[in-house]
Amino acid sequence: MRIAIVNDMPMAVETLRRIVSGMPGHSIAWTAANGAEALKKCTQDTPQLILMDLVMPIMDGVETTRRIMIRNPCAILVVTATFEGNSAKVVEALGAGALDAVQTPTLVENDHLRPNSLMIKIEAIGNLISENDKSKQTSQFALNRGKSSPERDRLVVIGASAGGPSALATVLSPLPRDFPAAIIIVQHIDAQFAPSMAAWLASQTPLSVRVAREGDQPKTGTVLVAGTNDHLAFIDSHTIGYTKEPRDSHYRPSVDVFFESVVRYWRGDTIGVLLTGMGRDGAKALKALRDTGAFTISQDAESCVVYGMPKAARELGAAVEILPLQKIASRLMTCLELDNCKSWA
């Protein structure tokens, strides 16, 4: 994978260059000291992945990410020296299309590189980029849904990746405080940024938003956000928790893993939503949700920052409806208020 480095600190550039050069199958495409330089180089030679600093002169990482995703879209991983004071910028960069964020690693005293989270994320993104389309159409998920309970518990499950924070805010902001369903979100984001994203989303909506905790149960009017680098999943018909399995997933947390657990355990009504993001995570399990009677929605191409996950859902026939981002919230309300989601059993 050809990787570019955008960072104004020479020591950080050298550290990142050595890490990338030491990883089999990866090479440096180019380096840039600021966002303006990166935009020019990206136009001339678009790499497969950019390691993007946040705080730089001339043009910061957020604006650079936004412009690259419009002009020459590619995978972007935010690499920042410090998280303190930068959490809002990280969320903003993710909303602009960055896939994930990680702290800038350091070299150990003996000048050898120790394995670090940056290496893990580079490999995960490489696997994501190289994913082929051999995804099987047939769902093999175990079903244990049963019929809806008399009180008709309702759950909206949402998956998102690159561009997700902004898309999630667009969906959540119009929903009323008395929204008649629980909401659970799986966004591809490193655990250390999940609390900041949840707090930011809480400022965008009248609903209560927080990071999901082990043993939580869905609650009407409350939004729970996956908050660790393990997978969020239902562990029984009313309780969620975290699991390390599957360990070989390209995505942590994985939308597919969570949606699959909804198929297995949740016995109430379900609406599944798949938003902007790179790759195919969530598409197969969204199809499984539809096959079991859930109403399913995917974001349309025109409103996506990255039309990857929703595109995969469309190819599988996973979505009952494909909607512009701005219309998803109103469709959720129509479904729940009028109880007219035609795919519900």
CA–CA separation, 175 vs 273, rounded Å?
A: 15
Q: Which of 166, 281, 300, 303 is catalytic?
A: 281
Q: Point out the domain boundary residue: 88, 114, 129.
A: 129
DSSP string computed for 209-236: EEE--TT----TTEEEE--SSSEEEESS
Task: Give the closest residue to 101 by CA, choosing from 132, 142, 61.
Answer: 61
Q: Which of 53, 139, 188, 231 is catalytic?
A: 188
Residues contacting residue 99 through CB under 8 Å, at least 6 positions apart? 75, 76, 77, 125, 128, 161, 162, 188, 278
The verdict on residue 34 lying in a domain is yes
* Same domain for 179 and 322: yes
Q: Is 196 a catalytic residue?
A: no
* Same domain for 178 and 95: no
* Same domain for 115 and 179: no
Residues contacting residue 136 through CB under 8 Å, at least 6 positions apart? 284
Q: Which of 87, 161, 254, 298 is catalytic?
A: 161
Residue 140: its pLDDT value, please? 38
Radius of gyration of the chain (CA): 20
- Map tokens 């995960």 to a residue: 124
* Same domain for 186 and 333: yes
Output the pTM of the full model: 0.82
Specify the number of domains making up the chain: 2
The verdict on residue 149 lying in a domain is no
* Same domain for 176 and 86: no
The verdict on residue 141 lying in a domain is no
The verdict on residue 138 lying in a domain is no
CA–CA separation, 326 vs 131, rounded Å?
A: 29
* Same domain for 305 and 201: yes
The verdict on residue 297 lying in a domain is yes
Written as six digits, the tokens of 180 are 């008649």
Residues contacting residue 193 through CB under 8 Å, at least 6 positions apart? 83, 87, 90, 91, 94, 101
Give per-10-residue mean pLDDT for the chain (345 aa): 95 92 94 96 96 94 95 93 75 91 69 68 87 42 39 86 95 95 95 91 96 96 95 95 90 95 94 95 96 95 96 96 97 80 49
The verdict on residue 188 lying in a domain is yes
* Same domain for 161 and 287: yes
The verdict on residue 16 lying in a domain is yes
* Same domain for 48 and 192: no
- Domain holding 17, by residue range, is 2-129
* Same domain for 158 and 40: no
Query: Is 49:75 a contact under the CB 8 Å cutoff?
Result: yes
Q: Is 281 a catalytic residue?
A: yes
Q: Is 188 a catalytic residue?
A: yes
* Same domain for 158 and 122: no
The verdict on residue 50 lying in a domain is yes
* Same domain for 125 and 267: no
* Same domain for 199 and 125: no
CATH code of the domain in which 17 resides = 3.40.50.2300
Q: Point out the domain boundary residue: 95, 129, 163.
A: 129
CA–CA separation, 160 vs 163, rounded Å?
A: 8
57: region left, alpha or beta (phi > 0 left; psi from -120 to 50 alpha): beta
CATH code of the domain in which 310 resides = 3.40.50.180
Residue 152: its pLDDT value, please? 57
